[in-house]
Amino acid sequence: MGEDFVLGLGQEALKVTVFLAAPLLLVAMVVGIVVSLLQAVTQVNEATLTFIPKIVAIAVVLVIGGPWMIETITHYTTDLITRFPELVR
């Protein structure tokens, strides 16, 4: 098991992590910006107002993208377990 192999595993793990987290983070960011703009326009500065829309938007993304996320992490885990004999050498 060489240095390139370990770096490849780490790179693949980071790539899967980014692919799984990016949709949730992007939706939360967009909803946060929209709510902040609405708060600035209406001058309503309620701190808890940003949490409910973000939670609802993230729940919607999880319902829509959940099967894809589960498939991605299952494929990655299966591939990692399949390559386990290479890892322990």
Structural domain boundaries in the chain: 3-88
Residue 40: per-residue pLDDT: 87
Q: Residues of the chain whose pLDDT is less than 50?
A: none
Q: What is the pTM of this model?
A: 0.79
Write the pLDDT tens digit of every residue in 27-48: 999 999 999 899 888 888 777 7
Integer angstrom CA distances of residue 50 from 28, 53, 60, 62: 10, 6, 16, 19
Residue 15: per-residue pLDDT: 96
